[in-house]
Amino acid sequence: MNDRRFRISVPATSANLGPGFDTIGVALDRRIIADVEVAPGGDDVRFEFVQTPYAPTHEGLRNEIARGITRVLGRNIPPLYVRVENHVPLGKGLGGSAAGAVLGVAIGAELAPRRPDEGTLTQFITEIEGHPDNGIPAFLGGIVIAAQNRDRPPSYIRFEPPRGLYATVVVPDFDMPTAQARAVLPTSYSRRDTVYNIQHAALLGAALGTGRFDLLRSAMQDRIHQPYRASFVPGLEEMIALELPGLFGVALSGAGPSVIAFVDRLEHPVGGAMQEIFRAHRIESVALSLQIANSGVVVTDVPAAQRAFGES
């Protein structure tokens, strides 16, 4: 291990997905990349963050990575040098903190004397995150439907992205901390709204799993979180109501403020349409055309071959 070097990457994610609050998430092909080296003679973990447009401006991402490493290795962390290059917008509802936690857990797994199994690692990730819908798709890639279990690993289904499904994500020029986004949610819901979301979440999972894109617009309707968060995301309701050829459905990404649209091709005009809605509310934004990432954590030894969790 003294001269171990490896590169590891983790994708962005979009979770909550309409009615799939804390349950349904997808991996997106935008990544955090880290070069990791065991540093003989050192006595701690040293981080360097490459200056990219999405480089962190505070210690949040560093702390998430460190938490993940510690959760796997405990006090038995060797001296490390970790160089991080981030391409995931942070604080925007694209799973940046989850990607950091997964990156740390994956680094710990690579360095553990005995590698933890998948169930243990997904449990660690869910414990750090508090819910499974960002962390597990970041770890495994693809589309994940997950449920938490007390004191046991989460239960989940991970499946390949259906062919012909792409994502357009519009990232506005303001942040919405997850804690703030959760604080606006009610502490209880009516039976009517609860049943509505159970029905639509079940339909959304089935539609994504079978490639029934014609059902996505209906399946992505929600009464649990988007109506309450809309006041923090000007234009969200207008975006959800958009109808264009090849547009399957629109939802708040994670806790927001980014908005995700499922579309039939990589370059789709819905991105410009959503930007125009933000602009009408005096908000500038960036549109990202993204594939759904089939691979989650990808590890490349130097100079060994590549390996990806969740990829057959």
CA atoms in the 13 A half-sphere facing the CB of 110: 30
3-state secondary structure of 223: coil
Share of the chain above pLDDT 70, in %: 95
pLDDT digits (tens, 9 = 90+) for 160-178: 999 999 999 999 998 877 7
pLDDT digits (tens, 9 = 90+) for 179-225: 777 888 999 999 999 999 999 999 999 999 999 999 999 999 999 99
Of 271 and 4, the structure prediction assigns the larger pLDDT to 271
Say what the pLDDT of residue 182 is.
Answer: 83
pLDDT digits (tens, 9 = 90+) for 110-137: 999 999 999 999 999 999 999 999 999 9
Q: Are 161 and 292 in contact (CB under 8 A)?
A: yes
pTM (two decimals): 0.93
Share of the chain above pLDDT 90, in %: 86
**Confidence check: pLDDT of 270 > 70:** yes
**Confidence check: pLDDT of 308 > 90:** no
Helix locations, the chain, DSSP H: 60-73, 96-111, 118-129, 135-140, 178-183, 191-210, 216-219, 226-229, 236-240, 270-280
When the pLDDT of each residue in the chain is averaged and rounded to a whole number, the result is 93
Provide long-range contacts, Cβ within 8 A and 24+ apart, for 112-116.
112/72, 112/73, 116/72
**Confidence check: pLDDT of 312 > 50:** no
Q: What is each CA distance from 84 to 15, 112, 156, 309, in whole angstroms?
A: 23, 20, 29, 20
Looking at residues 254-272, what average pLDDT do you find?
96
Report the distance separating Cα 80 and Cα 102, nearest Å: 17
Sign of torsion over alpha carbons 194, 199, 204, 209: positive
CA 195 to chain centre: 26
Looking at residues 44-69, what average pLDDT do you find?
94
Of 204 and 57, the structure prediction assigns the larger pLDDT to 204
Type of residue numbered 297: V
Structure token pair of residue 249: 């459905």
Say what the pLDDT of residue 305 is.
Answer: 44
Give the domains, in start order, of the chain with CATH numbers.
5-160+293-308 (3.30.230.10), 166-291 (3.30.70.890)
Using alpha carbons, select from 198, 273, 279, 204 the residue that is nearest to residue 240: 273
Report the distance separating Cα 65 and Cα 43, nearest Å: 18
**Confidence check: pLDDT of 41 > 70:** no
Strands 45-49 and 80-86: parallel
DSSP for 184-205 reads TS-S---HHHHHHHHHHHHHHH
Q: Label residue 39 by pLDDT band (50, 70, 90).
A: confident
Say what the pLDDT of residue 150 is.
Answer: 85
Q: Label residue 304 by pLDDT band (50, 70, 90).
A: very low
Say what the pLDDT of residue 178 is.
Answer: 73
Question: Helix, strand, coil % (nearest 5) of the chain?
Answer: 35, 30, 40
